[in-house]
Amino acid sequence: MTSPVDGPNCPVPHGVYRQIQLGHGSGGKMSAALLAERFLPHFGNPTLTKLGDAAVVDVASSRLAVSTDTFVVRPLEFPGGNIGTLAIHGTVNDLAMMGARAKYLTAGFVLEEGLELLTLDRIIAEMARAASEAGVVIITGDTKVVERGKADGVFINTTGVGEMDAAFMPAPERARPGDAVLVSGPIGRHGIAVMAVREGMAFEAEVESDTANLSPLVELLRGAVGSAVHVLRDPTRGGMASALNEIARAAGVGIMLDETAIPIPGPVSAACEMLGFDPLYVANEGIMVAIVDHDSSELALAALRAHPLGTEAVVIGRVVPEHAGLVALRTAIGGTRVVDMLPGDQLPRIC
């Protein structure tokens, strides 16, 4: 056996992939590498390379944000929502995180032969309700049907277009040392809700997905503190930890979290304890991280708490000049640790 390492002679590495693995879809380092190594070399352009939640483009005299997202989830329906609500909220939220107001959506459906029409009806009805609540219009769409076994019930793609406001343009690279890191609500609910149904696990209380349209919260922040909002991010797959790492890297700053301040619902932490998961890496669909100028953080908190989605909003940490590009956490007992991005999905442990 040959080893690439001079000195230690451990089993050979297998980081060189010849096929797509599930971990490439985790939102962690494998996903990032897939983009950087496969897609960007061919598609790269100044707009795409920013890799924001949405792209910002100028068309005639108006500045628009455009975002696209594809939704695959098993089960299709879960406590708190279904794949249709996710498809609306996901794209509307991606636009909102750029400071854009979503106006129009497109929707593409890949339907699997054998999908119950009653199920499809429920998904479409929820989707329509979510769109109307978010004030977006679905203006064009597409359907394709594939043979049984070639898809998982239904896959949905939505693309959204939103209007930008030059006076309010939060972006990951705008995080500055001294800023406060806010979260709008308790973390980990979507990922655990979906997993509990999929794996048939029962916890002390049913966990509902947090899937929600975040634009009302963004509007409140905009009204209260305006451009003092430096970054907005919805920590979906990969969870809070991955979102904060992306911000720390984009802005070249460190982020220090306070473990005791992070709101984690009891059933989420119970489920995570049992499975050996860290709630910081569990997906959310209805909360956001806001990085706000320190002097405006109290006003921003008050604005978030005025909305039903934001009643549990808190400051969970701050942006620091030290350890640029890294997210660290002060533990309850006073130690510190790194909160890194995971390579792929979290794996349930042995014991």
Partner 1 sequence: MKYLSEYRDPKIARSLADQIRSTASRRWVLMEVCGGQTHTIVKQGIDELLHDAVEMIHGPGCPVCVTPLEQIDRALHIAARPDVVFTSFGDMLRVPGSESDLFQVRANGGDVRIVYSPLDALEIARRHPDKEVVFFAVGFETTAPANAMAVWRAKQLDVSNFSVLVSHVTVPPAMTALLASPDNRVQAFLAAGHVCTVMGWTEYEPLAATYRVPIVVTGFEPLDLLEGILMAVNQLEKGRHEVENQYVRSVRREGNRPAQDVIGKVFRLVDRQWRGIGMIPSSGLGLREEYAAFDAELKFGVSVVTATEPEECHAGDVLRGKMKPHECPAFGTLCTPERPLGAPMVSSEGACAAYFNYGRFRSAAAKA
Query: For binding to partner 1 (CB under 8 A), which residues are involved?
Result: 1, 3-5, 7-15, 17-23, 29-30, 33, 199, 201, 260, 266, 269-270, 273, 275-276, 323, 326, 328, 331-338, 340, 342-344, 347-351
CA distance 292 to 7: 48
How, if at all, do strands 81-82 and 101-112 pair? unpaired
At its nearest, how many Å lie between partner 1 and the CB of residue 147? 18
Burial class (CB in 10 A: 0-12, 13-18, 19+), 348: exposed
CA distance 158 to 68: 6
CA dihedral sign of residues 18, 20, 21, 26: positive
Nearer to partner 1, 182 or 195 (CB): 195
At its nearest, how many Å lie between partner 1 and the CB of residue 272? 10
CB 238 within 8 A of CB 27: yes
At its nearest, how many Å lie between partner 1 and the CB of residue 154? 23
Around 135, how many Cα atoms within 13 Å sit in the side-chain half-sphere?
Answer: 12
At its nearest, how many Å lie between partner 1 and the CB of residue 38? 15
Nearer to partner 1, 34 or 151 (CB): 34
With tokens 């007992």, the residue in question is: 333
Nearer to partner 1, 167 or 202 (CB): 202
Q: Which amino acid is at 57?
A: V
CA distance 122 to 118: 6
Nearer to partner 1, 36 or 128 (CB): 36
Nearer to partner 1, 143 or 260 (CB): 260
At its nearest, how many Å lie between partner 1 and the CB of residue 69? 24
CB 251 within 8 A of CB 175: yes
With CA atoms as reference, report the closest residue to 99 among 229, 207, 253, 261.
229
Nearer to partner 1, 38 or 144 (CB): 38
Residue 88 CA to its chain's centroid (Å): 14
Q: Cis peptide leading into 75, omega within 30 of 0? A: yes
At its nearest, how many Å lie between partner 1 and the CB of residue 277? 9
Rg, the chain, Cα only: 20
Nearer to partner 1, 8 or 223 (CB): 8
Give the 3-state secondary structure of 300-312. Answer: HHHHHHCCHHHCC
At its nearest, how many Å lie between partner 1 and the CB of residue 343? 4
At its nearest, how many Å lie between partner 1 and the CB of residue 314? 17
Q: Which token pair is 223?
A: 């009204």
Nearer to partner 1, 18 or 60 (CB): 18
